[in-house]
Structure 1
């Protein structure tokens, strides 16, 4: 009986279902960010949901025990430090989305008034502010490496925290890059007419080549679609910001209580 009990306790412990779900979702999010997912708002929202699941993992007895262990304290503290930088990046991305939305609205107003130069300046301002925020996110790629535990035997909860840091940087950069590229993407017909606003030789009288529709009307419709997309990203980033805060609070409670 004792021998049987010894053999049973030596069997490998199966990962908690939540761990497996998070591993799969973080991998999908990383792949989506790398592939410039067509719905950046959904990408940001899903990442926020993943942080909600991380908070659940932190509160589980197994996760709490692993994260509060003295052996992994340094790795957990590195993750906490990284979360501060992530919140800053998320806030910058959210602010960039808000500014980009104002540029889109300015371009629509300019088109209604027939001011091609002002519309062009607004679209360029849109692309510029998003590109700048995307570069800021790209410059923080080392965050994931710094938060990663040095020991390969680290518990799943510790590894997932560091993986979430790296995925968050990749998603933020991917979301901003996707939005920025839309106004210069001439391969897709619905963005082609807006990309013409970036050209110095564009005028309101010559853009009539999108499915036979008037170019100005097509640009207005596409800009409205773009504004809706940016607004959805702004909402997704707000959700992500709140979820990172909540997961950080849960982690701090594990270390201090």
Structure 2
């Protein structure tokens, strides 16, 4: 039988616990944000920050006595598996962004010193980008939301987190088509995004295009340091958002393990 979790305690039959109500409000804000926002670096960073706050709140909710009494072993093990998978997504994202930033630093070094083989370094960067895109495509094919409504707020938080990482992987790899088996909610959300995403700025795609034009001599405009720094700032923002979420997920996971041991 599927594990169930109700955010109302048996001790509070007529009203919701304040912490549970706070979690519901955060979930509502994240649902609304995901439904209307574009896949831009700023909107993704906002969702990452929102997910960090959500998992901080879920960690507090887990420490409440009525929550520990309500979540059974099967439910906690399910959530632990999900949290581990999301931590893997964090590491995949951080490794990819670190690799991109390293390539950008090499290019900036040549631009700053005004010596070195810029074309060769750009070709190396673009080859690395193509390799990352293939890796992300493999991840996206196996990426799917939990879809287990019996886990209530914890399951929905997991779904929203996975959906956000789908946006991260798609944005960095310039792919806007979701892969894998998605829940009806995720499909509807994606449909609402399609029109607005066409207008969203993708800093990764912009610089890739500028680099490609430079290599193919299609543009007379010389590369400027500002062109590269724009993407570097975007990468830094994404790194900070993912790192903060990672730390919150670790604390959340510790509380899940504590719940399992009680």
CA deviation map 1:64-97 (0-9, x unaligned):
3322xx4xx3232111112112111211111111
Q: 1:29 to 1:91 in 2, by over 3 A?
A: farther
Equivalences for residues 8-87 of structure 1 within 5 A: 13-14=15-16, 16-28=20-32, 30-31=34-35, 35-39=38-42, 40-67=44-71, 70=72, 73-87=73-87
After superposition, the CA RMSD in angstroms is 3.4
Gaps of 5+ in 2: 1-10, 176-197
* 2:161 corresponds to 1:168: yes
Shift of 1:239: 1.2
Does 1:128 find its partner at 2:164?
no
Corresponding residue SS for 2:41: coil
1:235/1:104 Cα in 2 relative to 1: closer, same or farther (>3 Å)?
Answer: same
Tell me which residue corresponds to 1:207.
220
* Distance (whole Å) between structure 2 residues aligned to residue 173 and residue 52 of structure 1: 21
Structure of higher CA gyration radius: 1
Q: Does residue 1:198 correspond to 2:212, yes or no?
A: yes
Aligned to 1:212: none
User: Residue 86 of structure 1 contacts residue 168 of structure 1 at CA under 8 Å; is this kept in 2?
Assistant: yes
CA separation of 1:231/1:253 partners in 2, compared to 1, >3 Å: closer, same or farther? same
- Scaled by the length of structure 2, the TM-score of the pair is 0.70
TM-aligned CA distance change 1:126 to 1:226, over 3 Å:
farther
In 2 relative to 1, CA 91–195 (structure 1 residues): closer, same or farther, beyond 3 Å?
A: same
CA distance in 2 between partners of 1:192 and 1:249 (Å) = 40
1:125 shift after superposition:
3.8
Q: Size of the alignment, in residue pairs? A: 224
Contact 1:137 1:169 in 2 (8 A): no
Q: State the match for 1:102 in structure 2.
A: 102
Q: Distance in 2 between matches of 1:28 and 1:91?
A: 27
Contact conserved, 2:59 with 2:252, CA < 8 A, in 1?
Answer: yes
The verdict on how the C-alpha distance between 1:96 and 1:13 changes in structure 2, with shifts beyond 3 A counting, is same
Correspondence for 2:232 among 227, 230, 237: 227
Supply the distance in 2 between the matched residues of 1:229 and 1:10 (Cα, whole angstroms): 46
The residue matched to 1:240 in structure 2 has which SS? Answer: helix
Q: Give the secondary-structure state (helix, strand or coil) at the position aligned to 2:228.
A: helix
